Amino acid sequence: MTRLINHAREDGYPCIVGTASSDGVPNCGYIGTVLTVGDDSLMYRDRTGRVPLDHIEENPRVIVLFRNTERDAGWKFRCTATVHREGEVFEEMIDHLVQSGLVTDRYLQDGQGAIVVLRIDQVLSLYGEVLQERVPGQRW
């Protein structure tokens, strides 16, 4: 799972991240910088500084979809997100992205964007079967 997600962009299967505002307006997009962090989190860099970050700050529940058709592998990750625009976590995650080769520019232009850390609450099959849960029986 870790290898597939950490190589998703180079393999041609970037993750899709879905968000919703506090009043339910959905948004999703392909994110090529998703990486695993330890055994229980994902992270990515958002360079837009726009709607996805607004949604996450209003409603931290995020879903990440991963599907690699060549390997017949895929999962849904239900996550709780935090946005980091600066500070220790921001720097640590940027280092992680640079070391992975997914980004070469450490800093965001004009201060736009952020690092988004996604604590994985549930791992589901692509068909919705719960495979793992941080808190058993958690409702989404």
Q: Encode pLDDT of 21-67 as tens digits.
A: 889 899 999 999 999 999 999 999 988 766 678 889 999 999 999 99
pLDDT at 83 over 80: yes
Q: 21, 64, 9, 11: which is closest to 42 by C-alpha?
A: 64
Q: 96, 108, 91: which is closest to 42 by C-alpha?
A: 96
- Is residue 66 within 8 Å of 47, Cβ to Cβ? no
Give the domains, in start order, of the chain with CATH numbers. 2-130 (2.30.110.10)
pTM of the entire predicted model: 0.89
Structure tokens, 98: 């640079």
